[in-house]
Amino acid sequence: MSTKTEVSLIVEKNWCKGCGICVAFCPKNVLEIKNGKVNIRDLEACIQCGQCELRCPDFAIYLGGK
Amino acid sequence: MVDKNIKLMQGNEACVEAAIVAGMKFYAGYPITPSTEIAELSAEKLPRVGGRFIQMEDEIASISAVIGASIAGVKSMTATSGPGFSLKQEGIGYAVITETPCVIVNVQRGGPSTGMPTAPGQGDIMQARWGTHGDHSIIALYPWSVKEIYHTTIKAFNLSEKYRTPVLLLLDEVIGHMRESIELPKEDEIEIYNRKKPTCPPEEYKPYKVKEGDIVPEMAGFGEGYRFHVTGLTHDETGFPSNNGNIAENLIKRLVSKIEDNKDDIVEIDEYLLDDAEIAIVAFGSTARSAKSAVDILREEGIKVGLFRPITIWPFADKQLIELSKKVSRLVVVEMNLGQYYLAVDRVASKHTKVEKFGRVSGELITPQEIVDYIKEV
Amino acid sequence: MPSQLVKEYFRTENLPHIWCPGCGNGIVTRAIVKAIDNLGLNKDEVCVVSGIGCSSRASGYLDFNTIHTTHGRALAFATGIKLAKPNLKVIVITGDGDASAIGGNHLIHAARRNIDITTIVFNNNTYGMTGGQYSPTTPTGDKGTTAPFGNIDMNFDLCELAKAAGATYVSRSTIFTANMLIKQVENGIKNNGFSFIEALTICPTYYGRKNRKGEAVDMMVYLKENAINIAAYDKLPKEQREGKFVIGEIYKSKRPEYTEEYQKIIDSFSEGV
């Protein structure tokens, strides 16, 4: 079982182009666009589904691990 | 002699035999007169030596497949004629900028366009030089006999490997289809040059870095453990694209100078009775055969004529032609076109002598008598 | 710090890539890499061949044997590479214009030969690199800079084209259904023959703007809402199919593979030696 402390969501801000795709399709509303880049708004809510990583065109957001 | 290997061979056939001796293991082509025998014989012979032949869907696909195979590490060739040579220019430019060794045979016929498919022509001299867009240099060779086709095909492969560049082998319908007996050289009489491969660890490999003392970068093949990138965009030593003007200029200048600065190694010419000549005929390919006969006829009449025959058409034999122009009163360029090689000769030689052109585009070989008549009349 | 996947398979020194914000090409590229990772292929034996256009820039970012060729010719180069070195896993990355306009002839003949090459077409319905001209997959009526009054051409169904030409694995997915795309690339690579995968992607900058399709997210929503899996599509009454498109594995078959057939010819000469 994953616990909240294991949640690892990493953003590579330099690569983010702020398209908002990850924000729009995050099922738990974890993300937002802030100053033109993705920002983790509510890490607690993240369920590690990986939808953001799957659809990020810029490889700028990913779950920890492979 | 028992140990002599003498064969009656067609020019196009000699080209294929020699290509296989030179190490050709891949051929991609598209049928076109008068080069088709080269494809047919490659299809027949390559699988017997573990090589591969493919008939592609068009001329552009053929040159593209040839370049792909060469980058995968295999010596590759294609053959075509006029209209197909036009289509291949895209790929030739790609091979130039990516420094991919390959041999492109052009059995010239009458043009432009579909022109005269079964008749000889020499109308692709300038297309060979400048057919693909952008600044570049090119190697183009033009033999005149079946025997010389054999040796020049091997030379074409060797130069393409040594200078990492496409080499154009110009033939024409007459010498491509002509049959002559030739004595095939023994294996140990043939010198084969293979591209220099990298020996450094893969992480240190820069696919477009020229090592001190080398002419061209070392060339790894795909699948050999060096994961490199190839692009037709201007690129730096790493092989990745660059828009930096200095990098672009250095690359293009290097591509040109690796050929132009090594003319002494690349350029091959043949001279016939030029020592005391007052008039020099300049001719190549099948036309040079007529020109040689014309020299003999004129000599019998006491006219001091000789033949200057460039086997290397490009890079241009300017040094030799300037020297010649200082010794003769007339330089007569005879070619089956309306004056293409003539343009290049005139540019370097007209300062010292009278440069003339004599050509025809009727699809008929220029006869010795026509050359004799021209020389005597003018 | 990029992800493990990106570190392993991308030339990270060349990132970030040149694609516009919201361009779907990165999603397709990652899907291809993920499929290669899932299959556990040896990087030294993977060769990625691309043509010219936005999508074809992908090859430069990937840490394999990579070649960015001329416009339309990726499959012709790939055919030479595959035939010369049949042990290589050859993957072609191309766009809709590259694959089906200037490269259309090479596409149908590679499919006809059933040569073991996996082709992924990044279909964004436009020529993006040159600024949004209409392509063979721009829907009839849609606009491009060269179709200012609407496109009067019929658009290609690329999968039907590949199938008719002889491809032995044909599938379509979208960048929204990226997991499906990953699976399709895996299956395409596993297929011993010519595999054709159409990845429906988005060009918000040109096609989207010209046709008032909204932002990247709106275009993703469109893909999500109008893509129907093949099984469901077959059951759908005709009137409900309007504006929808099929995704999924469209066609699979088995035919002799080209390089293996050629090898038999070579072997026939070495036998008995």
pLDDT digit string, tens, across residues B199-258: 999 999 999 999 999 999 999 999 999 999 999 999 999 999 999 999 999 999 999 999
Write out chain B residues lying below 8 Å of C165, CB-based: none
Write out chain C residues lying below 8 Å of B223, CB-based: 44-45, 47, 65, 85, 87-88
- By Cβ distance, the residue of C67, C85, C105 closest to B223 is C85
- Confidence at residue B1, expressed as pLDDT on a 0 to 100 scale: 52
Q: Residue C152 burial by CB count (10 A; 0-12/13-18/19+): exposed, middle or buried?
A: exposed
Query: Are B81 and B107 spatial neighbours (Cβ–Cβ below 8 Å)?
Result: yes
Residue in this structure with the two tokens 């490659």, named with its chain if needed: B42
Confidence at A65, pLDDT banded by 50, 70, 90: low
Residues 6+ apart with CB under 8 A from A35: none
Write out chain C residues lying below 8 Å of B68, CB-based: 49, 67, 69, 76-81, 84
A 10 A CB-CB count for C61 gives 26
What total number of domains does chain C contain? 1
Yes or no, beta carbons of C14 and B240 under 8 Å apart: yes
Q: Could you give the CA distance from residue C173 to residue C183 in angstroms, rounded to a whole number?
A: 10
| pLDDT beyond 70 at A5 | no
Yes or no, beta carbons of B52 and C70 under 8 Å apart: no
Yes or no, beta carbons of C262 and B52 under 8 Å apart: yes
Q: In the numeric block, which tokens belong to residue B218?
A: 């070392």
Nearest chain C residue to A56, by CA: C27
- Confidence at residue A66, expressed as pLDDT on a 0 to 100 scale: 41
| pLDDT beyond 50 at B25 | yes
Residues 6+ apart with CB under 8 A from B98: B67, B71, B230, B231, B232
Query: Are C213 and C207 spatial neighbours (Cβ–Cβ below 8 Å)?
Result: yes
Chains contacting B (3 or more CB pairs within 8 Å): C
Write out chain C residues lying below 8 Å of A63, CB-based: 3
Yes or no, beta carbons of C10 and A18 under 8 Å apart: no
CATH 3.40.50.970 domain range(s) in chain B? 1-266
- By Cβ distance, the residue of B47, B228, B240 closest to C266 is B47
CATH code of A47's domain: 3.30.70.20
| pLDDT beyond 60 at A4 | no
Write out chain B residues lying below 8 Å of C80, CB-based: 26, 28, 54, 64-70, 72, 76
pTM of the predicted protein model:
0.97
- Confidence at residue B4, expressed as pLDDT on a 0 to 100 scale: 87
Nearest chain A residue to C220, by CA: A21
Query: Are B64 and C103 spatial neighbours (Cβ–Cβ below 8 Å)?
Result: no
Write out chain B residues lying below 8 Å of C93, CB-based: none
Q: Which helix (H) or strand (E) holds B252?
A: helix B245-260
Write out chain C residues lying below 8 Å of A17, CB-based: 16, 20-22
State the nearest Cα–Cα gap between A19 and chain C, in angstroms: 5
Nearest chain C residue to A9, by CA: C3
- By Cβ distance, the residue of B223, B228, B230 closest to C87 is B223
Query: Are C68 and C87 spatial neighbours (Cβ–Cβ below 8 Å)?
Result: no
Q: Could you give the CA distance from residue B137 to residue B141 in angstroms, rounded to a whole number?
A: 13
Question: Domain B1-266 falls in which CATH fold?
Answer: Rossmann fold (3.40.50)
What domain range includes position C262? 4-270
CATH 3.40.50.920 domain range(s) in chain B? 269-377
pLDDT digit string (tens) for chain C, length 273 residues: 899 999 999 999 999 999 999 999 999 999 999 999 999 999 999 999 999 999 999 999 999 999 999 999 999 999 999 999 999 999 999 999 999 999 999 999 999 999 999 999 999 999 999 999 999 999 999 999 999 999 999 999 999 999 999 999 999 999 999 999 999 999 999 999 999 999 999 999 999 999 999 999 999 999 999 999 999 998 999 999 988 999 999 999 999 999 999 999 999 998 755
- As a whole-number percent, the residues of chain B with pLDDT over 70 amount to 99
State the nearest Cα–Cα gap between A26 and chain C, in angstroms: 12
- Confidence at residue A53, expressed as pLDDT on a 0 to 100 scale: 97
Nearest chain C residue to B73, by CA: C84
Chains A and B touch (3+ CB pairs under 8 A): no
Which residue(s) pair with C10 in the sheet?
C62
Do strands C117-123 and C126-127 pair parallel, antiparallel, or not at all (unpaired)? unpaired
Question: Domain B269-377 falls in which CATH fold?
Answer: Rossmann fold (3.40.50)
| pLDDT beyond 70 at B138 | yes
- By Cβ distance, the residue of B61, B66, B227 closest to C44 is B227
Yes or no, beta carbons of C266 and B72 under 8 Å apart: no
Q: Could you give the CA distance from residue B87 to residue B97 in angstroms, rounded to a whole number?
A: 17
DSSP C204: I
- Confidence at residue C39, expressed as pLDDT on a 0 to 100 scale: 98
Handedness of CA B127, B133, B135, B137 (dihedral sign): negative
Q: Which of B45, B58, B64, B96 is the best substitution to test chain C (most C C-beta atoms within 10 A)?
A: B64
Of B74, B36, B30, the closest CA to residue B54 belongs to B30
- Confidence at residue A7, expressed as pLDDT on a 0 to 100 scale: 62
Interface check C78 vs B, CB under 8 A: yes
- By Cβ distance, the residue of A12, A15, A19 closest to C216 is A19
Write out chain C residues lying below 8 Å of A18, CB-based: 21
Q: Which of C1, C3, C15, C37 is the best substitution to test chain A (most A C-beta atoms within 10 A)?
A: C3
Yes or no, beta carbons of C60 and B229 under 8 Å apart: yes
User: Considering chain B, what is the average pLDDT of its residues?
Assistant: 97
- Confidence at residue A38, expressed as pLDDT on a 0 to 100 scale: 97
Residue range B301-306: average pLDDT?
Answer: 98
Confidence at B3, pLDDT banded by 50, 70, 90: confident
What total number of domains does chain A contain? 1
Yes or no, beta carbons of C3 and A19 under 8 Å apart: no
State the nearest Cα–Cα gap between B30 and chain C, in angstroms: 13
Residues counted in chain B: 378
Yes or no, beta carbons of C69 and B71 under 8 Å apart: no
Do strands C46-50 and C65-68 pair parallel, antiparallel, or not at all (unpaired)? parallel
- By Cβ distance, the residue of A12, A56, A57 closest to C25 is A57
* ipTM summary value: 0.97
Chains contacting A (3 or more CB pairs within 8 Å): C
Question: Which DSSP string corresponds to A36-57?
Answer: TEEEES-GGG-----HHHHH-T
Handedness of CA C35, C39, C43, C49 (dihedral sign): negative
Q: In the numeric block, which tokens belong to residue C66?
A: 């990579």
